Amino acid sequence: METPVFEEIDPASDCDCPGCAHWRRLLPRSAPHRPFAHPAARRALALAAMTSAALGAGQIAPAVAAVHAPLRPGVPAGDEPGTPQGGTAPLHGPAGTPVKPSDAAKTPGITREEIIRRAQRWVDAKVPYSMTSYWSDGYRQDCSGYVSMAWSLPQNEWTGSLHTFGVRIAKAELQPGDMLLFHNQDNPQNGSHVVLFGGWSDHTRTSYIAYESTSPHARRAVTPYAYWSNSARYVPYRYKGVVETPPATPPETPPVTPPETPPQTPSVPPADAQQGDKRAPAPHAGPGQPASHGVPGYPGRAMFRPGANNPYITQLGRQLVKKGFGRHYPNGPGPRWGEADRRGVEAFQRTQGWRGGAADGFPGPETWRRLFS
């Protein structure tokens, strides 16, 4: 029997699938001959034919197909994480220094606010999706690398390992910075995906703000719970290293005791009555609202962190509505800090000419002063 002749075909240089990456490493370069079929699949079929010839005409070796995440019917365009992912890897790319096994299991402490801030950086930079490229901070530019970055993990994890850094929780317990994870154990490259939970988008809790790395780049978008597809297979997890802050509550106002008024001599009027009170009245802070950072009524940043629930958030929301920045509220402002509050504050800050970190949607003393002036 004559030995079959097999042609050498290079995979397309812009394909990042695991099959193409594998054959690019193992086989020499040569010119393509046929314009059809996936290049990695042609390599696999050629390999299968060689194996079949070696085993004999009566034995057929199964062909190895290149792995791609399939398209999912019924999912709106642009909402599909139709890309595979890489495995565990050190920071700063494949040439980086691997972390020690003891370090790989560490869960560095981080606040929810910092998790969301880190996730937003990639959204602002529109970091392109890639399972083989690494961003300047050393994290892989796929869905699992994105969550590894937001949680500040010591290395790039994947959907098969991220759950070891979290604790499984219920839907009702979700808070900003938690993750929704789907890992397909039977075929990890088929549908496996992970997103960060950024907060409920409305009171019905049927949709939420998702931070994710997906083609073409990292994004933040309103997403149906739990995801566009395979919704029932997504599991919520809370990062073990998250630093929880106690619920913010308004400070108690001590009872006011009126000062004792010394008896006045009828023939001698008080000094203010003689010269007139020329002092400017202090701005009204409202009942129970202290002065902070020199701004009457500003309660401090701790009152407006993700997950906070207090009357100051309601007061802020009503003032946003009054000033014309309440279009993000589906049913009006409430006492729980949410995405509608943040977006309203951000819109107001931008009208002040602020950009970048100055317009982050979290009210500081200057934002409060201008909003209530």
Q: What is the DSSP letter of 278?
A: -
Torsion (CA) 219, 225, 227, 229 in degrees, nearest 10:
-150
Q: Which residue has the tokens 């951000």?
A: 346
Nearest CA to 149 among 134, 167, 130? 134
Q: What is the per-residue pLDDT for 23?
A: 52
Spacing of C-alpha 358 from chain mean position: 20
Q: What is the per-residue pLDDT for 355?
A: 85
Nearest CA to 69 among 173, 180, 143? 143
Q: What is the pLDDT along the chain (373 residues), one digit of tens a residue?
A: 555 554 444 444 445 555 555 555 555 444 444 444 444 444 444 444 454 444 444 444 333 333 333 333 333 434 444 446 677 888 866 556 666 666 767 788 999 999 999 999 999 999 999 989 999 999 999 999 999 999 999 999 999 999 999 999 999 999 999 999 999 988 877 889 999 999 998 888 999 999 999 999 999 999 999 999 999 999 999 999 999 866 555 445 445 445 444 444 444 443 333 333 333 333 344 444 556 666 778 888 889 988 899 999 999 999 999 888 988 888 889 999 999 999 999 999 999 988 888 888 999 999 999 999 8
Q: What is the DSSP letter of 221?
A: E
pLDDT of 82-124, one tens digit each?
446 677 888 866 556 666 666 767 788 999 999 999 999 999 9
Q: Could you state, in order of their start, the residue ranges of all structural domains in the chain? A: 1-68, 102-243, 292-372
Helices 39-55 and 18-26 pack at an angle, to 10 degrees, of 60
Q: Which residue has the tokens 């006045």?
A: 264
Count Cβ neighbours within 10 Å for each residue of 71-80 and write b for 16 or more, e otherwise. eeeeeeeebb
Quick one: tokens of 189? 């490259």
How far apart are alpha carbons 269 and 348 in whole angstroms?
49
How far apart are alpha carbons 249 and 311 in whole angstroms?
8
Say yes or no: domain 102-243 is CATH 2.60.120.10: no
CATH class as words, domain 292-372: mainly alpha
Contact between 159 and 195 under an 8 Å Cβ cutoff? The reply is: no
Q: Looking only at Cα atoms, what is the longest distance across the chain?
A: 132
Cis? peptide before 226, omega within 30° of 0? yes
